[in-house]
Structure 1
Amino acid sequence: MKDSVIIVSGGMDSITMLYEFKDRIALGISFDYGSNHNAREIPFAEMHCKRLGIPHITIPLDFMPKYFKSSLLEGAEAIPEGNYDEENMKSTVVPFRNGIMLSIAAGIAESHQLKYVMMANHSGDHTIYPDCRPEFVEAFSHATKAGTFVGVEILAPYTNISKADIARHGKALGIDYSETWSCYKGGEKHCGKCGTCRERKEALKEAGIEDTTEYED
């Protein structure tokens, strides 16, 4: 039964979730919030939703670059290179981004009489992004359930697994990860040097997946 909307970015994690839970997903939602890589990843979200016969919408959040401070909203040169860890990636945090997106998605879910909003956070995000942590997901789910007539809840089944674990799910599902986007710099190709590119490489390697991503390096 179709009972969920999914926040789908076009990256490895949300595309894996899209395929894994396709039978219950009624709508895919992407958000264009002015990041360096939105223009690169959202077309993948659209493509995969279309491939699966799942309706897809993109919602503009063009106020965010005007009022929010984050290197993710400041151009490719502002994105740090190096490991995917708290010290290196903290500048890429867009304050309360997931809270804003989940609020909108919960409203859309209730408008369609759907019970769940799915998000594809994972354990590697916890130390970097506050709005990816288990306690945030749990608290926000309580809020959406209390604040909607249909009792919308947040489903985040990847919260406590790694990106490599997600890639293993994708491998079993036959997903071609070259049809996803990770690089925060948002160039013509993945830069291969920023934290999200390095995280992508490591996850695919650990999962035993040949990395056919085109990298600049």
Structure 2
Amino acid sequence: MKTTLVCSGGLDSVSLAHVLAGDGALARVVSFDYGQRHRKELGFARACAARLGVPFHLIDMRSIGASLTGSALTDDIDVPDGHYAQETMRITVVPNRNAIMLAIAFGVAAAQGDTAVAAAVHGGDHFIYPDCRPGFTKAFAEMQRHALQGHADVALHVPFVHRTKADIVTAGARAGTPFAETWSCYKGGDLHCGRCGTCVERREAFDLAGIADPTAYADPDFWRAAVAGATKRGQA
């Protein structure tokens, strides 16, 4: 399997890159500049490709991203603090982002003769992000089968779609992922903020996996209260 990986530079996609590379299946890394709040994560994606010795493709989607308004990840809207289970996190949805990126990645894979496109969507994303859910990935794979029928046979590989972020940390550790060389924080400061949804989820995942988190956080303890609050709301 020659695989094109959609990689943000975050913990999930970089871990998947190392898993695929360990299996001899990683063909290339594709990343997207869609005008997100900061481009810091893209440097981590590029470094991942260089480390694993595969081509890096950076797709300029800024003109498209400029029309995908209303998200805290693209507009001048404060990124909320807290756990992903909070309704306030819906402001981080970028409309149709994964569908657009995956469609482009499938085109790249078909053009390059690859047989799969991989994405690190996972179970923890389901509550907030509709284009990370199993129903979406199954339907998208079927759509692409029709879109490329007679031209190329490219599968969608989403090994974490029913798994947790803690499972990703475990798989990434087994594959030798340098977790310190990944970027998750939505705020793009000098350090991970420790307070946004993706920082809280990252810190919680390492704790659940029982693996030391090498990440430096500006607020390293906030995640405990955020997780406790989300658990309490879920039990109400």
Selected match of 2:158 from 156, 159, 162: 156
CA distance in 1, matches of 2:34, 2:66: 10
* Residue correspondences, number: 214
CA distance in 1, matches of 2:114, 2:145: 12
- Per-residue CA shift, 1:43-67, capped at 9, x if unaligned? 1111111111111111111024421
Indicate the residue corresponding to 1:174 in structure 2.
176
Indicate the residue corresponding to 1:112 in structure 2.
112
Is 2:117 the partner of 1:134?
A: no
Indicate the residue corresponding to 1:190 in structure 2.
192
- Per-residue CA shift, 1:143-180, capped at 9, x if unaligned? 11111111222110110000001001112222221110
- Which of structures 1 and 2 has the bigger CA Rg? 2
CA distance in 1, matches of 2:154, 2:52: 24
Indicate the residue corresponding to 1:3 in structure 2.
2
Q: How does 1:56-67 map to 2 (within 5 A)?
A: 56-67=56-67
Q: Which moved more, 1:107-116 or 1:170-179?
A: 170-179
Identity percentage over the alignment? 43
Structure 2: give runs of 5+ residues left out of the alignment.
220-236
Structure 1: give runs of 5+ residues left out of the alignment.
none
CA distance in 1, matches of 2:7, 2:66: 23
CA distance in 2, matches of 1:114, 1:16: 20
- Per-residue CA shift, 1:87-108, capped at 9, x if unaligned? 1211100000000001101111
CA distance in 2, matches of 1:79, 1:126: 19
- Per-residue CA shift, 1:113-155, capped at 9, x if unaligned? 2121100000011111011000100111011111111122211
CA distance in 2, matches of 1:83, 1:164: 15
Alignment TM-score, normalising by the size of structure 1: 0.94
CA distance in 1, matches of 2:211, 2:20: 21
CA distance in 1, matches of 2:200, 2:65: 25
CA distance in 1, matches of 2:88, 2:170: 26
Q: Secondary structure at the match of 1:78?
A: coil
Runs of 4+ in 1 over 4 A off after TM superposition: none
CA distance in 1, matches of 2:191, 2:60: 24
What is the one-letter code of the residue matched to 1:53? Answer: G
- Per-residue CA shift, 1:21-77, capped at 9, x if unaligned? 11112110000111124x2111111111111111111111102442112111124x6
Indicate the residue corresponding to 2:209 in structure 1.
207
CA distance in 1, matches of 2:153, 2:196: 39
Q: Which moved more, 1:173-182 or 1:7-16?
A: 173-182
Alignment TM-score, normalising by the size of structure 2: 0.87
